[in-house]
A = this chain, B = another copy of it.
Amino acid sequence: MSAPGKADAIARANIALAKYWGKSDDRLNLPAVPSLSITLDPMRTETRVELDERLDADVFELDGKVALPKETARVTAMLDRVRAESGIAAKARVTSRNHFPTASGLASSASGFAALAAAARAAYGLTRDDAKASAMARRASASAARSIYGGFVELPAGEPGDDALAAIPRHDASHWDLRVVVGVITEGRKDVGSREGMGHSRETSPYWRAWVESAPAMCGVIREAIAARDYERLGPVVEQSFTTMHALAFTSSPSTMYFQPASIAALQTVKQLRDRGVPVWPTMDAGPHVKAVCPGEAAAQVEQALAATPGVLRVLHARPGAGVEVG
């Protein structure tokens, strides 16, 4: 197979409405529970992969700077799999740019590894295969499996050993005009990475088993509510999916706390809006940001209220977006 040698991809972050936390298989990075997300526009990562026969090792540049060695190692791990599948040994130069804050709980690893999987497969001359790209992205970062597809996307739980596990597109971006208004609370990287936090929860939280047992039902309700575009049914379960996930970290020993004071203020803002009749429910990931999920017609009001909350640095407004684009 002849390789074009160079490819660009654009992928978007996603926000899980039904949360994933914890693995059933650490080596293959398989999630212990199913998750369901919205792929978000305009939170994009653009990635270029360029083969270079002269390189002894892959080179990875992130947001204009040479990446950290551990970040480069994760990129190389994925490229090694693409090289094995394509039969092409050449190393690559990877340049990636996030159009939103990196590694602070805003799903930059999701869009990043989705874009990388798609760009790498194309650069090494493999035929486009979204399920394979999704499984490959999953190995690097479980949430990245979902960013291969646009709109509303589910990643099932993985049985140990199932390395073909990939996300499943449920509805495309035009299905429902849900919005995600993000109250950005820090620009920095978080103290405790998701991967480390998940292992700590599984080892030390008394609620770990109850989480694994209850998460599939929450994901099921969210799947049905999205299919029916039923916001009234969706909202409370979106909240409970994030609270039960955060509680795992919080009840680990010692406790891992992703909240900042301003996170609580933003959650209070969301509740006050709802008490005044605005349809909006919160979700959070393993970081301090509060993500308010609402129907399109409520978004302007939510944006204004979050922007006025003390400690909220700025607000991002996202809507369902497309899957990975390869050029």
A residues engaging B (CB < 8 A)? 206-207, 209-211, 213-214, 236-237, 239-240, 243-244, 246-247, 250-251, 253-255, 257, 259-265, 267-268, 271, 310-311
Query: Are A250 and B253 in touch, CB under 8 angstroms?
Result: no
A311 to B262, CA, bound (A): 12
Given contacts A207-B210, A244-B206, A257 and B264 within 8 Å (CB-CB): yes
A78 to chain B, nearest CB (A): 35
Q: Which residues of B contact A255 (CB under 8 A)?
A: 239-240, 243
A-B contact pairs, 18 of them (CB 8 A): A206-B214, A206-B240, A206-B244, A207-B244, A237-B253, A239-B253, A240-B251, A240-B253, A240-B255, A243-B250, A243-B255, A246-B250, A247-B250, A257-B271, A259-B259, A259-B264, A261-B310, A264-B264
Question: A237-B253, A243-B255, A246-B250 given. 6 additional CB < 8 A pairs?
Answer: A206-B240, A207-B210, A207-B244, A243-B250, A247-B247, A259-B259
Query: Are A251 and B244 in touch, CB under 8 angstroms?
Result: yes
A265 to B261, CA, bound (A): 6
Query: Are A236 and B207 in touch, CB under 8 angstroms?
Result: no
A206 to chain B, nearest CB (A): 4
A230 to chain B, nearest CB (A): 16
Q: Which residues of B contact A257 (CB under 8 A)?
A: 264, 267-268, 271
Query: Are A261 and B214 in touch, CB under 8 angstroms?
Result: no
User: 6 shortest A-B CB distances, which residue pairs?
Assistant: A261-B261, A206-B214, A247-B247, A210-B210, A261-B264, A207-B207
Q: Which residues of B contact A207 (CB under 8 A)?
A: 207, 210-211, 244, 247
- Count identical subunits in the complex: 2
A204 to chain B, nearest CB (A): 8
Q: Which residues of B contact A260 (CB under 8 A)?
A: 264
Of chain B, the residue at the smallest CB distance from A235 is B254
Q: Pick the contact of A251 from B247, B264, B310, B311 — CB < 8 Å?
A: B247
A278 to chain B, nearest CB (A): 14
Query: Are B206 and A209 in touch, CB under 8 angstroms?
Result: no
A297 to chain B, nearest CB (A): 22
A261 to chain B, nearest CB (A): 4
Of chain B, the residue at the smallest CB distance from A245 is B251
Q: Which residues of B contact A213 (CB under 8 A)?
A: 206
Query: Are B236 and A243 in touch, CB under 8 angstroms?
Result: no
A310 to B265, CA, bound (A): 14
Of chain B, the residue at the smallest CB distance from A257 is B267
Q: Which residues of B contact A261 (CB under 8 A)?
A: 261-262, 264-265, 310-311
A262 to B259, CA, bound (A): 11
Of chain B, the residue at the smallest CB distance from A310 is B261
Q: Which residues of B contact A211 (CB under 8 A)?
A: 206-207
